[in-house]
Chains A and B, each alone.
Chain A
Amino acid sequence: MTAFALLITTLIVLVAGHLSVLAALVVTSSMQSRQKRREPLIDSARQSIVAVLSADDEDASVALEGLVELSPREKADILLDLVTSVGGSSQQMLGAIAEEVGILPAARLDIESRRWSRRLYAARVLTAFGVRSDSVAMLLQDRAPEVRAQAATWAAVAPSEATTELLLTMLDDSDGLCRFAAQDALVRISSPAVPGLVDILVTGSGPLTERAVAVAGTIGDDRFSAALTALTADPSPEVRSVAATALAGIGDPTGEVTLIGLLSDESAVVRRAAARALATLGCWPASPSIETLLNDDVWAVRREAALALSALGPIGQVLLRANAQGAGRSAVMAVQILEINALTNDLEMV
């Protein structure tokens, strides 16, 4: 009897569930249909803004009229969509429109919202319009990682000494997305971030240094040279390896001697990175040193050495041919790379 009661109750609940889901589907579907009916209105508003942007003498009030009947979210979506595709005076004009229709004031208020998704959206809006505000900088220390990451993107758009400092701190954030956003923002900020990064290279250690080195290598500024050279003697092979790659990224010829020294490093990862870095720098005098790696115990190092010699021009080619005529693993690798070169030439001719 209990089982029957349970079954009947469950069946009733199930039927009620079906009806509720069906009702919900009908409601959401009708909402979507209503949204669809608004599409011409949205398109028309977008077109009026585009018309204002393409004709310099147009009055922005024409664009404002088109936006009157739209909801705040619809207005924001249109303006955000457009502002990410334009720059200069058009961006300024869109900023003025966004200010006028209340998008930017609302975003400034939402920065302090208790809901992380609102703070995130506000940071996105202010990033897109390149708004400079100390209150956005506060979001770099927000408790929600998504918001911190978005604020890092904003900091790249509106950099200052204080935000750069916070970005450097964010390189050691507990959340990977924030670390990535900080690295990316520092690369975009570039030159003003160099002194802070040099400090980290000199005083930092472990993964933090690795991340800073990766940024330094991408920025490629001479001011990193001394710190990176020092890091090629770091106890961690990972750090030595990324430092070698970064030295090549800087393009500073004074690093060549250091890199040649790294060709005999005890770590295969570092030897590979050094060979690749010397090839990137086009350091042909290093060819004889790289040639010795053709006989390295590690296959990946031999391959990198062969590729490096191949990239170093005639002298590298001569050394490869000389090795190809010999015996052993250096000959095998040299023959393979020379065959590839021949085929690649054919491919280019095709």
Chain B
Amino acid sequence: MREALASFYGTFLSPINTVVFVYFVALAVFYIVLYISASLDMRQYLRQVRAESDRDILSSEMAPSITVLVPAHNEEETIEQSIRALLTLVYPDLQIVVVDDGSTDDTVTRLVEAFDLVSTWPIYEASIETEPVDAIYRSGRFPNLVVAAKKQGGKADALNLALNLAETELVCAVDADTILDPDGLRRLVRPFLRSDDVAAAGATIRVANGCTVRQGRLATERGPHQLLAGIQVVEYLRAFLFGRPGWNRLGGNLVISGAFGLFRRQTLLDVDGYAKTVGEDMELIVRIRRSGYERGIPSRIEFVPDPVAWTEAPISLSVLSRQRERWHRGFSDSLWRHRRVCLNPRYGVLGMVVYPCFVLFEWLAPIIELIGLILVPIGLLVGEVSPFFAVLFFALALGLGILLSMLALFLEEVSFRRYGRARDRALLIAFALLESFGYRQLTLYWRLRGIVNFIRGKRSWGSMNRKGFVVAEPAQQATAGGRSNHGVQRKPAAAVRVTP
């Protein structure tokens, strides 16, 4: 029996094992290239922002106007603070459109009470079809704030309604549970000033667990002490400090986080807005880039590492598992929808480099890792793989993962240093070491489940229960006289309504 198994292994499984080995080497090379690219990009960016003056755009009459689009669904815990933070964003010409997507909790009531909302009936051009609108409100105290409540249609549908209501040159999509850096928009707008071909710019998302919030702004920036949240900090740093900037020089990003991204409004309208899918943020970017090749519309995607949106990371395994499963399912869906791009010379660097790399090194990674985890023990069992080789291979796989995390921490240290305390930094190193033991295997399982559920046709979002941010003191009512952008608001929300 053992001999038969060994023969089967030698004939069929051993070549697969070789493929896994080669894949691992290719993955390591790919990450090294990505890291070098990210380091170069970051160096250039830091030299620029540290040397130039940063206040001119705030007083410029030529700055492009921006509408912040905020889709919300059952966000009663965090919505008030998030909107207060948005109202204090420093930008010359800013509108905010919040769309409640059929919440079953008190999200709308919280908003009505907190911002003196009054029902209105504006006109807007329904350029993109959405679920029926229940009500549209304007704030009695903040003329640049509009809130719409609609029947549930998903995040994409809510963003599309917000897009219909917006009238500015640029629109910024944010999640309702995120807190933006006050000057985040000023930095994120730069790529749009630089080139007319830029369609979207993405920013860094950081984990807010452990930080405290005062009056809608981050009061202290600290790393979390909980293991699960801490490991996610390391994960986010890895993704946003060298994953995304690395692609800036290698053919452009394929993802802009739905939690904070700035878009040219006309481009979004040209591609019919967000698609109703679980991975609507990635799908949109792939569609924009694809449309760039097909129709010649602006399609360049930039990543700016400096502007930061802070988000609350899940601290329970069940919530985290649902989130990661959904992410990978959405990722699979986006790749599948645009499969014709893959290795198609018509789509230039997108089709020949970026898309194939995302399939090979992101989508396939959990599948290959699983194959490796199954085949190596079998090889050991039948004596086809030497224990020394197996131990070395696992040590390398773990070591590479840890090294990438440590390099991300190093990039953070030499660039933005948002976690100022030595204790936080020591904890982050510990989390980077611990990530490979248990957590990484769990994310492998969740991602595989995402792929399986995508194949089975699952389309739902699942729920995300949030604990709410740690508030430093009772939230104060933001006032017109407070430190807000009131002094530079120019026009009230436009009067608009759906045309029959």
Contacts and interface: CB of A to CB of B under 8 A. Distances in A.
Given A21-B410, A175-B194, A184-B62, A153 B56 contact: yes
State the majority secondary structure of interface residues on B: helix
Interface string B385-415: 0001100110110011011001101100110
Contacts of B399: 11, 14-15, 18
A146 to B, nearest CB: 6
B58 to A, nearest CB: 11
A7 B120 contact: no
Given A124-B51, A184-B62, A343 B121 contact: yes
B403 A347 contact: no
Q: Which of A8, A215, A303, A346 is packed against the most chain B CB atoms within 10 Å?
A: A303
B194 A176 contact: yes
Interface string B182-222: 00000000101111100000000000000000000000000
A52 to B, nearest CB: 23
Nearest to B428: A25
A120 interface: yes
Interface in B40-60: 47-48, 50-53, 55-56, 60
A176 B195 contact: yes
B374 interface: no
A18 to B, nearest CB: 6
A22 interface: yes
Interface stretch (A27-35, A158-166, A258-266, A288-296): A27-35
A218 B120 CA distance: 32
B109 interface: no
A3 B53 contact: no
Nearest to A180: B193
B53 A128 contact: yes
A350 B193 contact: no
A17 interface: yes
B138 interface: yes
Given A18-B402, A29-B425, A218-B62, A177 B190 contact: yes
Interface string A172-206: 00011100110110010000000000000000000
A336 interface: yes
B499 interface: yes
Nearest to B386: A4
A87 to B, nearest CB: 14
B36 interface: no
Contacts of A340: 120-123, 495, 497
A170 interface: no
A337 interface: yes
Given A4-B388, A28-B414, A175-B194, A11 B52 contact: no
A34 to B, nearest CB: 12
A267 interface: no
Contacts of B52: 120-121, 124, 146, 149-150
Given A10-B396, A14-B400, A337-B495, A218 B61 contact: yes
A176 B188 CA distance: 15
Contact of A21 (B47, B403, B420): B403
Contacts of A29: 413, 422, 425
A8 B392 contact: yes
B406 A21 contact: yes
Determine which residue in A21, A29, A33, A340 has the highest number of CB atoms from chain B within 10 A of its CB, and name it: A21
Contact of A337 (B123, B190, B407, B500): B123
Contacts of B55: 84
Nearest to B60: A184
Contacts of A303: 123, 125, 496, 499
A346 B194 contact: no
A300 interface: yes
Interface in A294-344: 299-300, 303, 307, 332-333, 336-337, 339-340, 343-344
A332 B123 CA distance: 11
A200 to B, nearest CB: 16
Given A177-B190, A350-B118, A336 B123 contact: yes
Interface of A: 3-4, 7-8, 10-11, 14-15, 17-18, 21-22, 24-25, 28-29, 32-33, 36, 84, 117-118, 120-121, 124, 127-128, 146, 149-150, 153, 175-177, 180-181, 183-184, 187, 214-215, 218, 299-300, 303, 307, 332-333, 336-337, 339-340, 343-344, 346-347, 350
21 contacts: A10-B28, A11-B395, A14-B399, A14-B400, A18-B399, A21-B407, A22-B406, A25-B406, A25-B425, A177-B194, A184-B61, A184-B62, A187-B60, A187-B61, A307-B495, A343-B119, A344-B120, A344-B495, A346-B118, A347-B120, A347-B140
Given A29-B422, A124-B52, 8 more contacts: A17-B403, A25-B406, A176-B193, A187-B62, A333-B123, A343-B119, A343-B121, A344-B120
